[in-house]
Amino acid sequence: MRRIIDKLYKENYLDKNELLDLINNITDKDKAYLISRAHETTMKVYDNKIYLRGLIEFTNYCKNNCVYCGIRAANKKADRYRLSLEEILDVCTQGDRLEYKTFVLQGGEDDFYTDDKIVEIIKEIKRKFPEHAVTLSIGEKSYNSYKKYYDAGADRYLLRHETASKELYNKLHPKMSFENRIECLWNLKKIGYQVGAGFMIGVPGQTNEDYVKDLHFLKELEPHMVGIGPFISHKDTPLANEQNGTVEKTIVLLALIRLFLPDVLLPATTALGTIDPLGREKGLKAGANVVMPNLSPMKVREKYSLYDGKICTGDEAAECRKCIEGRINRAGFSLEMSRGDNIKWRRK
């Protein structure tokens, strides 16, 4: 097993059989070795710096029905909200005071925010904060819409592919198209965004073969960022009674992603911190190098409920920032407050 891990460390690639063998048969001792190799790789590329992104959850309306997600259209119990341009700008001002250099605008697929509205939001943020990066995470749009947002100043786009298995994708996403999701990612790359793909771990029905497909898809796409986290059930979804993903599996996959894509920006996600109080710290030690604290206004925190038990819904932005800094330092890393673009990226 060490031989395979060393090969991955050196070549940043394993074929299907090697990778499946590794995921199927990894022991606790091998895991520790894999994690140490991943950590070494992160240190070589990014040193011990951890980048912060301020997350703004600006709408929980969604037209889709992803079976795992608490804000799916069919969930009539979700208490829906939208933030106005002014509210979003207020949040950015607060974030700027706390030294955030990236604002991530995330939401459901909400047609209330037309392209013109999204463009206005991007332009206003960029006008007030020209040095800051704007990241969008608002789902599948046409090439032209993505292009408009990019031309308005958006720098990055997060769109998890969710799973590289078409079969599993179709089970999880009624009336959506796997091909379209993948095409969106290639379009975003073509336009010039820093692109983030990613997937969940421990979704009902997901197998180790599926993770092999995910890693090979990521290797082919070469995204600048990868977001992964455990699946966590939400009580008002069809997956309410299913098991959650585990920290152990998520950590192994974080380490594998770091070794497949050495210079990727890789968050230790809120979902990972939700299933284990030290989940994010464990993620950082296994190759993650980004944390995305919540900047959303207090009054909407509980409502942006993708899964049950989400942490930090009761902490003011300033507290979140302090808490996260402490966690990063105690885990042996240092907080980095620059924009944190991927080292290979330049705006075209």
| Footprint on this chain of ligand SAH (rule: CB under 6 A) | 68-69, 106, 108-109, 137-139, 159-160, 162, 200, 229, 231-232, 234, 271, 306-307
Query: Minimum distance between the CB of residue 234 and ligand SAH, rounded to whole angstroms?
Result: 5
Residue among 108, 6, 53 at smallest CA distance from 288: 53
Instruction: Select 160 or 285, whichever has its Cβ closest to ligand SAH.
Output: 160
Instruction: Select 159 or 320, whichever has its Cβ closest to ligand SAH.
Output: 159
Round to whole Å and give the CA distance between 306 and 69. 5
Instruction: Select 139 or 273, whichever has its Cβ closest to ligand SAH.
Output: 139
Instruction: Select 73 or 89, whichever has its Cβ closest to ligand SAH.
Output: 73
Round to whole Å and give the CA distance between 57 and 54. 10
What residues have CB less than 8 Å from 97, skipping those under 6 apart?
none
Instruction: Select 232 or 317, whichever has its Cβ closest to ligand SAH.
Output: 232
> Can you say whether residue 327 is alpha, beta or left, with left for phi > 0 and alpha for psi between -120 and 50 degrees?
alpha
Residue among 153, 165, 156, 163 at smallest CA distance from 138: 156
Query: Minimum distance between the CB of residue 161 and ligand SAH, rounded to whole angstroms?
Result: 9
Query: Minimum distance between the CB of residue 152 and ligand SAH, rounded to whole angstroms?
Result: 19
Round to whole Å and give the CA distance between 292 and 95. 12
Instruction: Select 35 or 105, whichever has its Cβ closest to ligand SAH.
Output: 105
> Can you say whether residue 12 is alpha, beta or left, with left for phi > 0 and alpha for psi between -120 and 50 degrees?
left
H or E stretch including 324?
helix 317-330
Round to whole Å and give the CA distance between 244 and 231. 5
The answer to whether 339 and 53 have CB atoms below 8 angstroms apart is no
Instruction: Select 129 or 307, whichever has its Cβ closest to ligand SAH.
Output: 307
Which amino acid makes up residue 215?
Answer: L
Residue among 338, 311, 346 at smallest CA distance from 53: 338
Query: Minimum distance between the CB of residue 27 and ligand SAH, rounded to whole angstroms?
Result: 27
Query: Minimum distance between the CB of residue 23 and ligand SAH, rounded to whole angstroms?
Result: 20
Round to whole Å and give the CA distance between 19 and 13. 9
Query: Minimum distance between the CB of residue 68 and ligand SAH, rounded to whole angstroms?
Result: 4
Query: Minimum distance between the CB of residue 274 and ligand SAH, rounded to whole angstroms?
Result: 8
Instruction: Select 41 or 59, whichever has its Cβ closest to ligand SAH.
Output: 59
Beta pairing, strands 49-52 & 194-201: unpaired
The answer to whether 198 and 160 have CB atoms below 8 angstroms apart is yes
Beta pairing, strands 194-201 & 225-230: parallel
Query: Minimum distance between the CB of residue 292 and ligand SAH, rounded to whole angstroms?
Result: 11
